[in-house]
Amino acid sequence: MDVLVVGGAGYIGSHCVRQLLAAGHRPVVLDNLSQGHRAAVPAGVRLVVGEMDDQALVRRVLREERIGLVMHFAALINVGESVRQPERYHRNNVVATLGLLAAMEAEDVRRLVFSSTCATYGVPERMPMSEDLPQRPINPYGQNKLDVENALRGLAAEGRMRFAAFRYFNAAGAAEDGAIGEDHAPETHLIPLAIAAALGRRPPLEVFGADYPTPDGTCLRDYVHVDDLARAHIAVFPKLEAPGAALFYNLGTGVPTSVRDILLAVDCATGKAVPHTFGPRREGDPPALYADASKARRELGWEPRHATIDPIVATAVRWHLAHPAGFGDR
Ligand SMILES: NC(=O)c1ccc[n+]([C@@H]2O[C@H](COP(=O)([O-])OP(=O)(O)OC[C@H]3O[C@@H](n4cnc5c(N)ncnc54)[C@H](O)[C@@H]3O)[C@@H](O)[C@H]2O)c1
């Protein structure tokens, strides 16, 4: 399959590009490099630097490369920032996505895999979280993703697009061979922050809340290895052959992991204690979020190869030790 990977120079997209190559597909990357990295795109893979809603550019690339399917990872991803800059988030994550979809339709490319998020559920009514829970996002970022899901539902109902939307839980880890990993600026994700604190590259970590109704008082989240996420994107291809395909899957391991569990895993993998302090809870952080991913298991035969947190953190630590400045391009 000839696949356009939009946002393919970013964290999850770049891991997907490598998985596509390994599975014998031909990826082409489109990324504006606002967060992505040139060096995350393997040699021999075409990188087109540009905006996903640049109609002329996207249409030309779809045509030139005879693209059959688009994977769409491009978004602004910082939840706190989305609260402060809702218009910017709406413009980039929703309006620009509609531009991408229009270019696809104009070139008759009608298969899409979309990166959605568990943040579309807001504060869920029950655990673990299955796809039939009500979606009531509590921040603009989650709302953006739900808006796109709804737009896709509409297009699919009219026979104009076939799609799968994956609602990721917390992407984590790095490529097994250490070639690529997570390098966001600013970084807001717990594992890279904890590793940087352990390695003395940033001040002690502030843990938000130690008084949650959880076994150790800290929040529970579901960390899923980035290569496991990537594999699901390829496993879904046959499903997109069905007319009217409009598919939603949660992707997580289903293993609730606390902030303290993460600190212990980082202590263990680095051989250094993560310096940390405890602060108050952060508004809008539910005590627990973890997936029921049985639908993806059942329908896609998807099975995360990394089922526990220690090996996931170990891959991240290997990447950060070998790349103290990340991709070194900022
Ligand atoms: N990281 C997670 O834990 C997580 C969890 C749930 C959902 N997601 C979703 O997965 C996707 C990928 O996340 P990530 O962590 O790899 O983020 P990332 O920031 O590393 O990657 C996103 C990429 O998209 C590019 N981009 C952004 N806006 C663009 C535009 N208008 N035109 C072209 N390129 C653009 C950026 O330069 C970047 O390379 C995002 O859609 C995110 O919302 C991520």
Ligand 1 mutation pick, 15, 30, 34, 148, max ligand atoms within 8 A of CB: 34
Query: Please, are residues 163 and 240 in contact by the beta-carbon 8 Å criterion?
Result: yes
How many angstroms separate the CA atoms of 117 and 170, rounded?
9
The catalytic residues are: 141
Please identify, by atom number, the ligand 1 atom nearest to the C-alpha of residue 183. 20
Residue spans of the domains in the chain: they are 2-171+224-251
Q: Is the CB of 35 under 6 A from ligand 1?
A: yes
State the distance from the centre of ligand 1 to the C-alpha of 35, rounded, in angstroms: 8
pLDDT digits (tens, 9 = 90+) for 232-272: 999 999 999 999 999 999 999 999 999 999 999 999 999 99
Give strand pairing partners of 249: 166
Query: Please, are residues 26 and 68 in contact by the beta-carbon 8 Å criterion?
Result: no
CATH for 2-171+224-251? 3.40.50.720
pLDDT digits (tens, 9 = 90+) for 282-327: 988 999 999 999 999 999 999 999 999 999 999 999 999 999 999 9
State the distance from the centre of ligand 1 to the C-alpha of 23, rounded, in angstroms: 22
| pTM, two decimal places | 0.98
How many angstroms separate the CA atoms of 232 and 167, rounded?
11
